[in-house]
């Protein structure tokens, strides 16, 4: 009798464990079937939300459920989606199902109409929304930044724990990994005969430098970009040191330590960080937002009629002993004017190797497209280096047809066919296709989650240090 009772108890416990196990799993398993991904767009306040839908994907159902408050952000988003649907060249066929109300997030959770939530907009509550969406069983595809301070970083760590427990994916949109010169810089760094090994550098002479220059006034998809006024509020958008630097820190990790698992508790040592403002007049603010007066929530950052936006930042740190300098700068407008291609944004990237430096330059004399240069270090025999370079280029060409070399005075320019420069907007489609593949796999690569956590620790901790230095 006792034996039978114990057997029944064991059976009940096994059933309960199975039920609880099921509760921790994703509510959908993806096979790549047509239309099985049901997309939800949450509060699309940033134009990146629309760029995800610039193309169609067979796995993504054309019905997209949008939850947002009433306001200009949603109207601008719909204008962009409608422009994609009505363009003459390869129009999209999205059907937007919209819920407009202040209780948009609660309604999204209650209706439970999708299986992937995409968010790109106001960052004030973004991390909490991400965590709650995962708790509700949704995969999350999020624009950067997913955390804008040390407090939200802690929430983000919890979100990743929930995703793992429930078998869900949480992934941020790192478009810069798809830029061709960035890809080639990493590829050449993996050729030891050409690059040697990555130097460690010092705080005063870092082995890696990444600098990104952006402009508030620019054109996107052929039209002047109208930014929401909250974009200039660092409490809602985040400071520059935690925003665009997300991409730069990601490229530092992705390029210098490819597919290696990083541990932020051991591998990151921030030596210094600083922040400074871009000053904007009321008239300049009006041009980029369409609003003639500063909103009340911005008045804390206004003095003498000038809005001071802490959109600029610098991080000096060592990652696994490799010293790096990360810089983001926001100007109001490119010196070339608002008509400058891509708004006049520029990217500079240096990787110092024991045999050669790999340098991406853009802007000014180098033109509007980034260019990769290979520069032998001092003391290297140029003739011997040229032979090594020419013998190794075939390894690059095997992956990227048409890539070539042009010898200059003291360095080589990597020549790239125009077809590889697909542009920033196209990279959103490429990263989305990568995410869809991961959904089918049912998991991210082993290194992605710990490295996302390391990335957001670096940016948010740097902000804390920079603010403490003022």
Is residue 322 over pLDDT 70? yes
User: Average pLDDT of 110-115?
Assistant: 96
Task: Work out the burial of residue 108: count CB atoms within 10 Å of its CB; fewer than 13 is exposed, 13-18 middle, 19 or more buried.
Answer: buried
Is residue 5 over pLDDT 70? no
Is residue 99 over pLDDT 60? yes
Is residue 341 over pLDDT 90? no
The reply to whether 177-431 shares the fold of 24-172 is no
Give the chain's mean pLDDT.
92
d(CA 291, CA 72) in angstroms, rounded, equals: 11
Cβ atoms of 467 and 246 within 8 Å: the answer is no
Please name the residues in contact with 238: beta carbons below 8 A apart, sequence gap of 6 or more.
123, 145, 148, 149
User: Average pLDDT of 402-410?
Assistant: 95
> What are the residue boundaries of the structural domains of the chain, listed by start?
24-172, 177-431
The number of beta carbons lying within 10 Å of the beta carbon of residue 205 is 11
What's the farthest any 2 CA atoms get from each other in the chain? 92
Could you please state the CATH topology (level 3) that the domain comprising 177-431 is classified under.
Dihydrodipicolinate Reductase; domain 2 (3.30.360)
Burial 379-410, CB ≥16 within 10 A → b, else e: eeeeeebeebbeebbeebeeeeeebeeeeeee
Ranking 212-221, 413-422, 449-458 by mean pLDDT, the lowest is 212-221
Question: Tokens for 331?
Answer: 């100007």
Is residue 303 over pLDDT 70? yes
Ranking 210-219, 328-337, 409-418 by mean pLDDT, the lowest is 328-337
pLDDT band of residue 7 (cuts 50, 70, 90) is low
Could you please state the CATH topology (level 3) that the domain comprising 24-172 is classified under.
Rossmann fold (3.40.50)
Position 391 scores a pLDDT of 95
Position 10 scores a pLDDT of 42
pLDDT band of residue 79 (cuts 50, 70, 90) is very high
Position 345 scores a pLDDT of 85
Q: Name the percent of the chain lying above pLDDT 70.
A: 91
d(CA 65, CA 407) in angstroms, rounded, equals: 53
User: Average pLDDT of 74-95?
Assistant: 96
Position 364 scores a pLDDT of 86
pLDDT digit string (tens) for 195-219?
A: 999 999 999 999 999 999 999 988 7
d(CA 403, CA 244) in angstroms, rounded, equals: 29
Distance of CA 279 to the CA centre of its chain: 25
pLDDT band of residue 28 (cuts 50, 70, 90) is low
End-to-end CA gap in the chain: 75
Find the helix or strand (DSSP H, E) in which 389 lies: helix 382-399
Is residue 4 over pLDDT 70? no
Ranking 156-170, 243-257, 335-349 by mean pLDDT, the lowest is 335-349
Find the helix or strand (DSSP H, E) in which 307 lies: strand 306-319
Is residue 340 over pLDDT 90? no
* Four-CA torsion 214, 216, 217, 219, nearest 10 degrees: 60
pLDDT digit string (tens) for 454-469?
A: 999 999 999 999 999 6
Is residue 124 over pLDDT 70? yes
User: Average pLDDT of 305-325?
Assistant: 98
Tokens 């006034």, residue located: 217
d(CA 355, CA 384) in angstroms, rounded, equals: 12
Is residue 337 over pLDDT 80? no
Is residue 221 over pLDDT 70? no
Ranking 169-173, 407-411, 451-455 by mean pLDDT, the lowest is 407-411
């Amino acid at each position: 009798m006792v034996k039978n009772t114990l057997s029944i108890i064991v059976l009940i416990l096994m059933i309960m464990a199975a039920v609880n196990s099921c509760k921790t799993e994703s509510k959908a398993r993806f096979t790549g079937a047509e239309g099985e991904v049901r997309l939800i767009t949450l509060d699309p306040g940033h134009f990146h939300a629309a760029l995800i839908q610039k193309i169609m994907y067979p796995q993504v159902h054309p019905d997209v459920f949008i939850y947002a408050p009433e306001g200009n952000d949603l109207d601008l988003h719909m204008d962009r989606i409608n422009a994609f649907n009505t363009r003459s060249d390869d129009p999209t066929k999205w059907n937007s199902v919209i819920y407009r109300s202040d209780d948009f997030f609660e309604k999204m959770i209650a209706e439970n109409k999708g299986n992937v939530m995409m968010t790109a907009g106001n960052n004030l509550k973004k991390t909490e929304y991400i965590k709650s969406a995962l708790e509700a069983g949704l995969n999350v595809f999020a624009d950067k930044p997913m955390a804008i301070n040390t407090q939200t970083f802690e929430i983000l760590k919890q979100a990743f724990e929930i995703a793992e427990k429930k078998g869900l994916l949480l992934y941020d949109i790192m478009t810069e990994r798809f830029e061709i010169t960035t890809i080639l810089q990493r590829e050449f760094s993996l050729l030891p005969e050409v690059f040697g090994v990555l130097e460690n550098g010092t705080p005063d002479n870092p082995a890696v430098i990444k600098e990104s220059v952006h402009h508030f006034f620019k054109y996107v998809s052929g039209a002047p970009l109208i930014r929401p006024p909250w974009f200039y509020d660092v409490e809602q958008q985040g400071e520059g040191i935690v925003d665009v630097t997300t991409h730069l820190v990601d490229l530092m990790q992705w390029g210098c330590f490819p597919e290696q698992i990083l541990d932020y508790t051991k591998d990151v040592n921030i030596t210094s960080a600083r922040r400074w403002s871009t000053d904007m007049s009321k008239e300049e603010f009006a041009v980029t937002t369409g609003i003639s007066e500063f909103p009340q929530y911005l008045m804390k950052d206004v003095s003498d009629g000038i809005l001071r936006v802490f959109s600029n930042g610098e991080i000096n740190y060592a990652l696994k002993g490799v010293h790096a300098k990360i810089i983001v700068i926001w100007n109001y407008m490119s010196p070339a004017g608002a008509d400058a291609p891509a708004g006049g944004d520029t990217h500079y990237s240096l990787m110092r190797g024991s045999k050669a430096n790999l340098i991406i330059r853009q802007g000014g004399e180098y033109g509007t497209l980034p260019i990769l240069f290979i520069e032998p270090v001092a003391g290297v025999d140029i003739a011997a280096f040229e032979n090594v370079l020419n013998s190794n280029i075939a390894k690059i060409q095997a992956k990227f047809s048409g890539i070539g070399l042009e010898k200059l005075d003291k360095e080589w320019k990597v020549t790239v066919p125009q077809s590889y420069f697909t542009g920033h907007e196209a990279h959103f489609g490429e990263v989305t296709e990568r995410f869809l593949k991961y959904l089918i796999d049912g998991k991210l690569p082993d290194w992605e989650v710990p490295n996302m956590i390391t990335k957001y620790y670096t940016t948010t901790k740097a902000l804390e240090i920079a603010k403490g230095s003022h």
